[in-house]
A = this chain, B = another copy of it.
Amino acid sequence: MREEQNNKYAVRKIDLEAGKYTVIMHDNDAQALGVREQDRVRVVFGEEYVIAVVETTQSMVKMGEVGLSAELHEVLKDVGEVRIYPTSRPESVEYIRMKMDGKKLTEYQIRKIVEDIVGRNLTDIELSAYVSAVYMRGMDQDETYHLVKAMIETGETIDFGDEIIYDFHSIGGVPGNKVTLIVVPIIASMGLTIPKTCSRAISSACGTADIFEVLAPVSLSAEEIKRIALEVGGTIAWGGAVSIAPADDIIIRAEYPLGIDPPSQLLASIMAKKKGVGANNLLIDIPMGPETKVESIEKARWYARNLIELGEKLDMKVSCAITYGGQPIGRAVGPALEVWEALQMLEGKQVPRSLYSKAIELSSMLLEMGGVLDGKRVAEEAIKSGKALEKLREIVEAQGGSPEFSSESIEFGKYSAEVVAKSDGYVKRIRNRSIIRIAREAGSPYDKKAGVLLAKKEGYRVEKGETLLTIYSSNKTKLENALRVANKISPVSIEGMILEKMPSYREIV
């Protein structure tokens, strides 16, 4: 009998990246051991052990053998034999269950959940139950604060000592939001320090990390972010490459397929990432409007209030700007296209008011948080003088890119197609989600040269047959797909008359 052999199994390497510690056992062995799929076991080798999750098989391994996922194999190295014992599920699963029952969690309980998330100790089923519970039950301020702390403390942090560190974050959801490429160099050009990390696209057309990668590598270590921020004043680095608040990426893995973004989790993720990078003066952009993450002014204010309160508890100065996000920012959506439009602005060329105004106003707010008087004038001067562009070149070079670029050197996809107006009228609505979908069909964000260039923004007059937007792609088939989608979903609505009034919150447009 197996049990008489002291629960020993021969190790067989299975070429499987499971994203967690998985032990594959023969059905009969699992039965004899009294464990089922998804149960936890203690895998003992020498004096050490790790906790892993069981998968069962009839054919992948023989009886007396176990397969280990690549992740587990890495820990065990060349161990040829392990002993396996059933063990109970982690206590954090009980706390997830408590949240499902609508209970308030303690600091300790939240900490245990986050530790198990970061330790890859939860299965997909458990992780999904966690995000579902947080989505359906919510978390209060105390819980959210404990969540932030746990997320920070289970990852790397950057310590800038007593330095004043600026940072900027956009809650996202609005396409074409390339303002980071303008705000960061403006702030850094004033001698301030802004170690900005940003994300790749999850469900958007492209994230700032996808965009900036057109100019420079974005995978920096925490050490590099610190060094570059201190040397040239700023970075535009991919947050995913640094292990700051690593729980976030794992949580997103479960949120993304469900299309949910629980507010308290969103608050915690932002604050943990920013506190972890050492920021103490933080400006948060909350785009608001149809088809953004925040669809009402009440919800926007709720976010602002909570972010500011969390900031106080975390010893950070937080300001929020509620901005209009009901249509794309500027005209360009897609990595290279957005770089081109940001460079146009930095080069002093004409860009849409929605982009210019937003970038200047946000920069101004951040500068004023740092005690600069008349931030707007100072920000505009940084553009006019070319100092912001110069600073961007320094940042690009420091991150390992070539500083020889201009808006004219940026290439778009060699295949392009136009979507034209089917009638005369005014552009009543440009749908964010439709623009995102077209850009993605065209290949964005993986095809850097793919995207959408809007010819007309909301409120503009168009004649029948006039171009509404141009789609770019490096790939002909993808372009055709994107064009087919665009013609089907009508991303731009045209009506006989202009919208009578603009919403009152449209201050920063």
- In the complex where A128-B129, A475-B1 touch, is A123 in contact with B257 (Cβ < 8 A)? yes
Closest chain-B Cβ to A411's Cβ sits at a distance in Å of 16
A residues 1-60 in Cβ contact with B at 8 Å: 1, 3-4, 14-17, 31-32, 34, 36-39, 55, 57-60
| Segment of A131-139, A181-189, A220-228, A495-503 engaged in the interface with chain B | A131-139
What does the 1/0 interface line of A90-115 toward B look like (CB < 8 Å)? 00011011001010000000000000
Q: Which of B60, B97, B257 contacts A17 (CB 8 A)?
A: B60
Point out the residues of chain B lying under 8 angstroms from A100, CB to CB: 132, 135-136, 258, 260
A254, CB-defined interface residue at 8 Å? yes
Q: Which of B16, B96, B126 contacts A60 (CB 8 A)?
A: B16
A149, CB-defined interface residue at 8 Å? no
Contact (Cβ within 8 A) B137 A258: no
Point out the residues of chain B lying under 8 angstroms from A133, CB to CB: 132, 136
- In the complex where A38-B257, A132-B133, A136-B132 touch, is A125 in contact with B127 (Cβ < 8 A)? yes
Tell me the complex Cα distance, A258–B258, Å. 18
Point out the residues of chain B lying under 8 angstroms from A207, CB to CB: none
Tell me the complex Cα distance, A370–B327, Å. 68
Q: Which of chain B's residues has its CB closest to A450's CB? A: B34
Tell me the complex Cα distance, A253–B254, Å. 18
A89, CB-defined interface residue at 8 Å? yes
Closest chain-B Cβ to A336's Cβ sits at a distance in Å of 16
Q: Is the interface of A mostly helix, strand, loop or mixed?
A: helix
Tell me the complex Cα distance, A236–B1, Å. 29
Contact (Cβ within 8 A) B58 A17: yes
Closest chain-B Cβ to A48's Cβ sits at a distance in Å of 21
Q: Which of B97, B137, B257 contacts A260 (CB 8 A)?
A: B97
Point out the residues of chain B lying under 8 angstroms from A57, CB to CB: 17
Tell me the complex Cα distance, A257–B53, Å. 11
Taken together, the copies of this chain in the complex come to: 2
Point out the residues of chain B lying under 8 angstroms from A4, CB to CB: 475
A124, CB-defined interface residue at 8 Å? yes
Q: Which of B60, B258, B474 contacts A125 (CB 8 A)?
A: B258
Q: Which of chain B's residues has its CB closest to A58's CB? A: B17
Closest chain-B Cβ to A494's Cβ sits at a distance in Å of 27
Closest chain-B Cβ to A463's Cβ sits at a distance in Å of 34
Point out the residues of chain B lying under 8 angstroms from A254, CB to CB: 125
Tell me the complex Cα distance, A406–B217, Å. 77
Contact-residue size bin, chain A (C-beta under 8 Å from the other chain): 35 or more
Point out the residues of chain B lying under 8 angstroms from A446, CB to CB: 31-32, 34
Point out the residues of chain B lying under 8 angstroms from A443, CB to CB: 34
Tell me the complex Cα distance, A4–B17, Å. 29
Closest chain-B Cβ to A129's Cβ sits at a distance in Å of 5
- In the complex where A59-B17, A124-B123, A129-B132 touch, is A38 in contact with B93 (Cβ < 8 A)? no
Interface centre among A31, A123, A135, A257 (most CB of B within 10 A): A257
Q: Which of B36, B136, B475 contacts A137 (CB 8 A)?
A: B136
Q: Which of chain B's residues has its CB closest to A3's CB? A: B475
Point out the residues of chain B lying under 8 angstroms from A102, CB to CB: 136
Closest chain-B Cβ to A175's Cβ sits at a distance in Å of 16
Tell me the complex Cα distance, A485–B57, Å. 30
A431, CB-defined interface residue at 8 Å? no
Closest chain-B Cβ to A214's Cβ sits at a distance in Å of 15
A70, CB-defined interface residue at 8 Å? yes
A161, CB-defined interface residue at 8 Å? no
Q: Which of chain B's residues has its CB closest to A200's CB? A: B36
Point out the residues of chain B lying under 8 angstroms from A490, CB to CB: none
Point out the residues of chain B lying under 8 angstroms from A32, CB to CB: 446
Point out the residues of chain B lying under 8 angstroms from A135, CB to CB: 100
A440, CB-defined interface residue at 8 Å? yes
A391, CB-defined interface residue at 8 Å? no
A259, CB-defined interface residue at 8 Å? yes
Q: Which of chain B's residues has its CB closest to A440's CB? A: B34
What does the 1/0 interface line of A251-272 toward B look like (CB < 8 Å)? 0011011111000000000000
Tell me the complex Cα distance, A37–B1, Å. 40
11 CB contacts below 8 A, A to B, read A3-B478, A34-B440, A37-B253, A38-B253, A38-B257, A124-B124, A124-B125, A125-B127, A126-B128, A128-B129, A128-B132
Q: A3-B477, A39-B257, A59-B70 are in contact. List 11 more A-B contacts (CB 8 A).
A: A1-B475, A14-B15, A17-B59, A17-B60, A32-B446, A34-B443, A38-B256, A100-B132, A100-B136, A102-B136, A128-B129
